[in-house]
Amino acid sequence: MAECPEVTIGYVQISGEDYMRIQQAVDQGQKRWRLNPVRTAQVVGKLFGLEDSDQYELTQIYISSGSGLHHATVRVKHGPCKYVLDLYQPIRQGSDGIWILQRIIPL
């Protein structure tokens, strides 16, 4: 497996991120990219070493049987490295709920 040390792997979190405030901003027409798991992976992924020019592909959206939350997986090809990004909807489920990047897993 190729190594890309610039990419943070494991569980990720943006310090001070307020999911309710983000959802409210989206409801008011701001940061609409948060409604798309692939765009969220691209925009937020930059904070963890990924790039807009990387190849992103939505592989699945599913509902967690334990929590009932919607989850999405996005595959990313970053140079010689490949990752799976896990995202979820913490506030509202479905087309009007924001997506949050939760984890970056190397393949």
User: pLDDT of 69-103, one tens digit each?
Assistant: 999 999 999 999 999 999 999 999 999 999 999 99
- Per-residue confidence (pLDDT) for residue 78, from 0 to 100: 97
Per-residue pLDDT, 75? 98
* E runs forming strands in the chain: 10-11, 55-63, 70-78, 81-88, 100-106
Decide if pLDDT at 32 tops 70.
Answer: yes
Percent of the chain with pLDDT over 90: 93
Q: Assess whether pLDDT exceeds 70 at residue 28.
A: yes
End-to-end, the C-alpha distance of the chain in Å comes to 8
In whole angstroms, give the CA distance from residue 63 to residue 88.
9
Strand order in the sheet with 100-106: 10-11, 100-106, 81-88, 70-78, 55-63
**Cβ-contact 78, 54 below 8 angstroms:** yes
Cβ neighbourhood burial of 33 (10 Å; 0-12, 13-18, 19+): middle
pLDDT value of residue 3: 83
Return the minimum-mean-pLDDT range out of 1-10, 40-49, 58-67, 84-93.
Answer: 1-10
Task: Give me the sign of the Cα torsion angle 27, 30, 35, 41.
Answer: negative
Residue count of the chain: 107
